[in-house]
Amino acid sequence: MTEVMQISAMEQGLQGCPICTSVGSAEKTHCNRCGSKLHAGWANSIQHTWAWLATSVVLYLPANFLPITYTRFLGKETESTILGGVVTLWEHGSEPIAVIIFVASVLVPLSKMLVLAWLCLSVQFGSNFLLPQKTRLYRITEFVGRWSMIDVFVVSILVALIQLGNVMTILPGVAALAFAAMVVTTMLAALAFDPRLLWVSADKGDRV
């Protein structure tokens, strides 16, 4: 494959439908084949991504610093944050599980936000630095983001099962909701981001 043949659809006045893969004119706002809304307003992709990103950053704080569960054990109540839960798992000898939860709940959301912010900035500055790597990074981000929901499901199962009145009961904290909302908003941020813009702005940068 030579470089010469690699021309973006956008430069040829074309666009592909993300839902049904049909190819049509770049000016169309809706797809001929499936009726889906297309990326006609491309200028908005970056702004939408920033908006969802900002929302998820705001949600990230309560999700991590407020209690995600309350444990009532023999009349005493203790609260636990996401990080607290990781530490408890580690202390009880479940190191691999502690690592999984730490990666899924703390590392993945944080790196996802940083990556998306970096990608938005690259588009805005028309950078063509590490393009294939950035594209792959976006794909990984899009794929991995959903897995952060693990902790929300862990909490819901713990709450559902451990209901033994005063002996032992686990209740969900507001952080669980904030966390779920944070995962949803980072997913929406990734969906709003149009990875083609990375290549389009770089193509332009090459020629200027």
Binding site for other proteins (CB under 8 A): 1, 6-10, 12, 14-16, 18-24, 33-36, 89, 92, 94, 97, 100-101, 132, 135-136, 138-139, 142, 146-147, 149-154, 156-164, 167-168, 171-172, 174, 176-177, 180-181, 184, 187, 191, 195-196, 198-200
**Nearest partner of 121 among 193, 71, 40, 177, judged by Cα:** 193
Binding status of residue 38 toward Zn ion by CB under 5 A: no
Tokens of 188: 């929406």
168 binds, among other proteins, Zn ion, none (CB under 5 to 8 A by kind): other proteins
Q: CA dihedral defined by 87, 148, 120, 57, rounded to 10 degrees?
A: -60
Query: Do residues 119 and 190 touch, judged by C-beta distance below 8 A?
Result: no
Distance CA 133, CA 138 (A): 9
Interacting span for Zn ion (CB under 5 A) from 5-13, 31-39, 64-72, 84-92: 31-39
Candidate list 20, 164, 167, 168; residue touching Zn ion; CB under 5 A:
20
Binding status of residue 33 toward Zn ion by CB under 5 A: yes
Identify the residue whose tokens are 């028309």: 126
